[in-house]
Amino acid sequence: MTIIDELRRLALFVVLSLAQVLVFNHIHLFGYATLLLLVYFVVTFPRNYPRWAMLLWSFFLGLFADLFSNTPGMAAASLTLMAFVQPYLLNLFIPREAPENMRSAVATMGFGKFATFAFTLVFAYCVVFFTLEAFTFFNWVEWVLNIIGSTALTLALVLTLETIRK
């Protein structure tokens, strides 16, 4: 990792944090689907990125979102868990002979594999986030609708961003 790569990651951190806190937290389509763009930060970690750094980046991104979203610890816990799982999932979707510094992207993985990889991470994030938010299964229909709607909306934006970013 070079200093330029780290500065790009910091810029992505700032842009995603501000977009989530200032814009996307106020959009709730049909009362259920919330755009959770923070997930894109974790999805794009390269293959050989240090795991401790992934956990720290993700925790602080979630903590920043929690501070301004009235979700005490939910985003931080969900993003940290997602960062923990990301390297293992990435290894399932890439060939063994892939370069060590390969970034998870449509250009390197192909659209189908990247979409499946991103869906798995986004779905896991939404399940953990909305389970922590509900903290009960009393209204399980709303819980399921939140997960499905937010997963679909977030995945659509992640795939759109990734295809534009090529």
pLDDT for the residue numbered 74: 92
**Residue 152 confidence (pLDDT) above 90:** yes
Per residue in 85-97, pLDDT tens?
Answer: 999 999 898 888 8
pLDDT recorded at residue 103: 83
pLDDT tens by residue, 129-150: 999 887 766 788 888 999 999 9
pLDDT at res. 1 = 64
Query: 25-83 pLDDT, tens per residue?
Result: 888 888 788 889 899 999 999 888 999 999 999 999 999 999 988 888 999 999 999 99
- Tracing tokens 């937010």 back to the chain, one arrives at 150
pLDDT value at residue 148: 93
Look at residue 137 in the predicted model and tell me its pLDDT.
66
| Residue 153: predicted pLDDT | 93
Q: How many CA atoms lie within 13 A of 103 on its CB side?
A: 14
The model's confidence at residue 166, banded by pLDDT at 50, 70 and 90, is low
Residue ranges per domain, the chain?
3-165
Would you place residue 126 in the very low, low, confident or very high pLDDT band (cuts 50, 70, 90)?
A: very high
What pLDDT shows up at residue 5? Answer: 84
